[in-house]
Amino acid sequence: MKKLLIFLLFVGTAYGQAETIDFPAPIYWDANTEPDMLDYGVYRSDTPCTDPNPSPVTCTNFVEQASVSQGTDPIQWTEPGPIVFVQDYYYRITARNTSGNESLFSNELNLRWLNPNAPGAPGDLRSQEQGANMWLDWTDDEHVAVWRVYKSMAEDKRGALLAHTSESEYKDTNPGRRGPRWYNVTAVDDDENESAAAGPVIYVGKQ
C-alpha cells in the first residue's frame, strides 16, 4: 500500500477552522481505490496533531474510535458519542490493506458538535466599550431560561463562564482597562440545553 492520504469531505467545512454542526451527522471521506483495501481507521482527539508526518505513531493523542469497511465512494461514518457539546474534536482517517499495513493520517477535521435540542444562539449581539466598562446586549427570547456570558483572553476560545443572567444585557468591568478581551453569550433552556455562542465581541482596552 502506498502512503496515501485520505482527504476528508464534509459539506460546509472550512479547512483549518472549526465547523459547528448538529450532533450526530455523518463524516465523509474519499475511498481509497487500491485493490487490496480492507478498511479505514477513524481516530479522534481533543487536541490537534502538529507533527509534519502525522500517523497513529507520531500523534498518540489520537485514539481509534472505529474501523469502517471498504465501500463505495464516498465512505461514511457517524460519530456515536459520547461527546461534550461545543467542545473541539479533531478527526483523522487511515487506510488499511489486507496485509495489515496502515497509511499515514488524513488531513485533520475540526468539529464542534451542537446539541440539536438546544435553543438558537442569542441574536444581534451588540457591545459598547466605555472606559473600563463593557456593555453587552442582545435580542430577548421568551423561550430562554437564562443566558450565559463568557470572557476570554483569546479570540478563538469561548473562555471562562463570567455570569448567568435572566436579562438580555450585561455589564462587565475590566480593571485597569486591561485588554484585549473577548465576550461570547449563549442561551440555555429549562432542560439545561445550551446553544452555540454568539460572538465573540471584543473589548479593546489598553493593549
Query: In the prediction, which pLDDT does 5 show?
Result: 47
Below-50 pLDDT ranges, the chain: 1-5, 9-16
CB neighbourhood size of 15 (10 A): 12
Query: In the prediction, which pLDDT does 9 show?
Result: 45
**DSSP annotation of 195:** P
Which contacts (CB < 8 Å, 24+ apart) does range 195-199 have?
Answer: 195/114, 195/118, 195/119, 195/120, 195/121, 195/122, 196/20, 196/86, 196/112, 196/114, 196/118, 196/120, 196/121, 197/86, 197/121, 197/150, 197/158, 198/121, 198/122, 198/123, 198/125, 198/138, 199/125, 199/150
Query: In the prediction, which pLDDT does 4 show?
Result: 46
Q: In what side-by-side order are the strands of the sheet with 198-203?
A: 160-165, 146-152, 181-188, 198-203
Query: In the prediction, which pLDDT does 17 show?
Result: 61
pLDDT tens digits for range 131-166? 999 999 999 987 899 999 999 999 989 999 999 999
Domain ranges of the chain: 8-114, 126-203
* CATH 3.40.50.720 matches 126-203: no
What's the N-to-C CA distance of the chain in angstroms? 53
8-114 and 126-203, same CATH topology: yes
C-alpha cell at 135: 456593555
- Asked if residue 91 lies in contact with residue 44, where contact means CB atoms within 8 angstroms, the answer is yes
CB neighbourhood size of 139 (10 A): 11
The CATH homologous superfamily to which domain 8-114 belongs is Immunoglobulins (2.60.40.10)
